[in-house]
Structure 1
Amino acid sequence: MMEVKSEEKDESNERLWSWGAGTDGQLGNGQLQDEQIPQQLSLSSHSHISSLACGAAHVIALTSGGKVLSWGRGNSGQLGHGEVVSNMLYPKAVTSLDEHFITHVSAGWSHSGFVSDTGSLFTCGDGSFGQLGHGDYASHSSPIKVSFFVDQQVAGVACGMRHSLVLLKGCLLNQVYGFGSGKRGQLGVSKDRIKSINLPKVISGFEDVEIVGIAANGDHSAALSVDGHLFTWGRGFKGFEDSHIPQSLNSTLKFTKATLGWNHGLAMTGEGEVYMLGGNHLGVLSDLHSVCQANQLTVDSREANLEKVPGLDGTKVTDIATGAEHSVLVTDNGEIKTWGWGEHGQLGLGDADDRTSPVTVRVGYDLDEAASTRVYCGSGFTFALTKF
């Protein structure tokens, strides 16, 4: 999801934590094993991390100085380390981007995207579905500039399982593009079924709204407008039909952030309330679709798909993240809460059990000392970045 860059602050005192699936080195701790409780990583040589992006089993870190680090699974070149396509157990600099100041990164299932301060887009990794946007189906182990946008200003990129979305800067016409796999409608470029496309194609339906954020995961896509409306397309949530063009959520709520998993999504309002879209038995809060059928209710499916996350009354949420089938949030008092699929310990609760409602994670620091905490999810793992 795109986020507004805040004013630079002193980031000399920060801590990075990881937990969950680690068999590809994605936890960045030098181990090839799962961790069921948060483990603090050493930042001695990689301080000033401003944000992360987590994919299926790889992680991209962006520093406040515009540099990029990556680690985890590298079998498709998604780490961007050139000829080296092996897994990395520790953060390693993506040196081919050193001459650029990178402002935004995204990690998909096995591909990655990078946006520079000059509005250039670079991609690397698996390209077998056209998700790199280079006009072919080749894979690349180093970030390559997407020439389609050479005369335009890219604001952000969102990498899904096998597709990508791009948001351009400062324009209302032709502002969002899609490329890659489109079999579930996740490209949003045509009402007809599309197997895949390897060049960016404009997504229709946004001519009268200004989009400020995009998100992609699994076969889902989403966009957030400047006035807080949430649009989704692609694979239908909870068994509802796929949507091949963007559809606005039928809600009066105004959202400020949205994230997507494989079968669900989270959306946060400006008041710090969190709502869930879709889900399944591993992380769903209830099955509204079945309830409606059982009671023969006529409910707009796009409204029925939205449910407020329980147990948070009177608590403001400051950040959200979604993995494949688990969810994470941060409250205004610094608590991290998780729920959903827990097989790899990605909930950070010391076991491999699933949870159907948010549970507080014990992290090794005093909550009163933390100035801010941001959370990030890969398919089966979780990261937390805390500033003090």
Structure 2
Amino acid sequence: MPFKLLAWGANTYGQLGLGLKSESCLSPKEVVSDDPALAMRDVISIVGGGGHTLIMDSKGELFSCGRNSKGQLGRKECEGKNDADPKLGLVSLEEEDRAIQIACGWDSSYCITWGYKLLVWGRNTDGQLGIPKNEHPTIVKPMKVPRLGDLKQVAAGQRHALVLTKDGHVLACGNGSKGQLGILDHTRAPLKELEHFREVPELSDIVQIACGLHFSAALDNKGRIWVWGDNHHGQLGIDPASLKNIHVPQCLNISSTFDPALTANKVVKIYCGWTHMAARTSSRALIIWGRNNYGQLGCHESMRPEPWKPQLIDKLEGVRRMAVGAEHNVVLTESGSILSWGWNEHGNCGTGDDKNVLMPSQITIAQPGKVIAVGAGSGHSFALVEEPYNDS
């Protein structure tokens, strides 16, 4: 069956891969690639940063488009150029390197390889690539981070990054001004910056990591969520009036914040926006909390007087996949529907206009098919669709 990749939202730098730049794209449009190496049927992951996009296929090859001001596209033909590229092109990986997982910071890019190593490229002025910034303020070609291996996941915030080892430990690097590194110095103050990945203390048996703008989170094998960093908007699930920052990981006790009966369903996946957070349960329900100024929590601000308290989104069931942008959300349900809500200034929610979306709303696709995956960057979104055969 034919496959197509759809994109919508901010496209100032061509991050939608439509072959053109525009302030916004209000409805889903088809991504067209001139690169013969990219077959849409092979796409398995789509992630985005502030103005660029990374796409990974089942063969472990990477493709990028959008802004390249700091070398974040990682493409040979773009080396030495700051120009944005609105067309997807092949990232310059070495012959032996194949990707198994990818992440984007604001203007930096990350990749875990088949050999469980970390490749990095893009901006490094805060040490967010885990390499000394004075030697490499920017990296335009993917580079292996030395003395780092046996990794299974990487996550990135605006200017910091986390990696998860195969044995369940978490390492952090980059900017720590809000406590997002989770590591203290000899005076018990939060480390302001780290140019090399260092282990975050007191975390073990971690199965997943996620990063927000200036905060971090981890999920352990018991379904417990650990949070640290900036909490000015309640994104750590704690009342910001009592605690603005958390400098070391703290376990978020979800059962104390809403109906304990709901916690019978174990949390199996966590997601971070810039200032909000979500968790998917084993029953495929969605719990969400944090900032709600754009409707990020799936309701009007007046409906959540204590937005820092984790709460189920009503009438949203069967969530199969989720992608979170800066302040908007996209989900794929078991029924095959794509729903979105939150910040919509650039058409990020794909509803056909630029009004913020205050509750999960279905995205209409011109030629509907089976939706396989969703993805998101800061202000842009994607959906991979398998089209039915046309017998006519």
Partners of 2:222 and 2:193 in 1: how far apart? 31
Out of 217, 220, 225, the position equivalent to 1:222 is 217
Query: Cα offset for 1:95?
Result: 2.2
Query: Once structures 1 and 2 are overlaid, which stretch shifts more, 58-67 or 41-50?
Result: 41-50
Task: Say yes or no: does 1:32 pair with 2:21.
Answer: yes
Partners of 2:114 and 2:81 in 1: how far apart? 27
Ranges in structure 2 where 5+ consecutive residues have no aligned partner:
235-239, 256-262, 388-392
Match of 2:354 in 1: 352
Out of 62, 67, 76, the position equivalent to 1:73 is 67
Task: Say yes or no: does 1:305 pair with 2:321.
Answer: no
**Cα separation, partners in 2 of 1:287 and 1:245, compared to 1, 3 Å:** farther
Match of 1:23 in 2: 12
Q: Which amino acid in 2 is paired with 1:376?
A: G
Partners of 2:4 and 2:359 in 1: how far apart? 27
Match of 1:273 in 2: 285
Out of 165, 174, 181, the position equivalent to 2:175 is 181
Query: Cα offset for 1:342?
Result: 0.7
Partners of 1:317 and 1:104 in 2: how far apart? 21
**Residue aligned with 2:348, SS:** coil
Task: Say yes or no: does 1:244 pair with 2:243.
Answer: no
Task: Tell me if structure 2 keeps the 8 A contact 1:15–1:43.
Answer: no
Query: Cα offset for 1:378?
Result: 0.9
Task: Tell me if structure 2 keeps the 8 A contact 1:21–1:381.
Answer: yes
Match of 1:385 in 2: 384
Match of 1:204 in 2: 201
Match of 2:258 in 1: none
Partners of 1:98 and 1:72 in 2: how far apart? 24
Q: Deviations over 1:354-374 (max 9, x none)?
A: 0111111101333xx51x532
Query: Cα offset for 1:66?
Result: 0.9
Task: Say yes or no: does 1:96 pair with 2:93.
Answer: yes
**Residue aligned with 1:213, SS:** strand
Query: Once structures 1 and 2 are overlaid, which stretch shifts more, 253-262 or 342-351?
Result: 253-262
Partners of 1:97 and 1:364 in 2: how far apart? 39
Match of 2:226 in 1: 231
Match of 2:332 in 1: 330
Q: Deviations over 1:65-105 (max 9, x none)?
A: 11111111110111112334321111110123343121111
Match of 1:145 in 2: 144
Partners of 1:336 and 1:374 in 2: how far apart? 10
Q: Which amino acid in 1 is paired with 2:31?
A: L
Task: Tell me if structure 1 keeps the 8 A contact 2:33–2:87.
Answer: no
Partners of 2:276 and 2:175 in 1: how far apart? 19
Query: Cα offset for 1:136?
Result: 2.9
Query: What TM-score results when the alignment is normalised by the length of structure 2?
Result: 0.86
Query: Stretches of 4+ moved more than 4 A in 1?
Result: 286-290
Query: Cα offset for 1:305?
Result: 2.4
Q: Deviations over 1:257-306 (max 9, x none)?
A: 111111111211111101112023112436699846xxxxxxxx9xx520
**Cα separation, partners in 2 of 1:130 and 1:376, compared to 1, 3 Å:** same
Partners of 2:80 and 2:43 in 1: how far apart? 25
Q: Deviations over 1:2-44 (max 9, x none)?
A: xxxxxxxxxx642211000001000000111111000012357
Task: Say yes or no: does 1:55 pair with 2:45.
Answer: no
Task: Tell me if structure 2 keeps the 8 A contact 1:67–1:98.
Answer: no
Task: Say yes or no: does 1:258 pair with 2:270.
Answer: yes
Match of 2:260 in 1: none
Task: Tell me if structure 2 keeps the 8 A contact 1:148–1:199.
Answer: no
User: RMSD of the alignment, in Å?
Assistant: 2.0
Partners of 1:42 and 1:268 in 2: how far apart? 32
Ranges in structure 1 where 5+ consecutive residues have no aligned partner:
1-11, 293-300
Partners of 1:221 and 1:31 in 2: how far apart? 34
**Cα separation, partners in 2 of 1:231 and 1:288, compared to 1, 3 Å:** farther
Query: Once structures 1 and 2 are overlaid, which stretch shifts more, 272-281 or 341-350?
Result: 272-281
**Residue aligned with 1:244, SS:** strand
Q: Which amino acid in 2 is paired with 1:28?
A: G
Task: Tell me if structure 1 keeps the 8 A contact 2:17–2:32.
Answer: no
**Cα separation, partners in 2 of 1:189 and 1:88, compared to 1, 3 Å:** same
Task: Tell me if structure 1 keeps the 8 A contact 2:130–2:196.
Answer: yes
Task: Tell me if structure 2 keeps the 8 A contact 1:288–1:305.
Answer: no
Match of 2:126 in 1: 129
Match of 1:6 in 2: none
Partners of 2:145 and 2:302 in 1: how far apart? 42
Task: Tell me if structure 2 keeps the 8 A contact 1:148–1:200.
Answer: no
Query: Cα offset for 1:386?
Result: 2.7
Query: What TM-score results when the alignment is normalised by the length of structure 1?
Result: 0.86
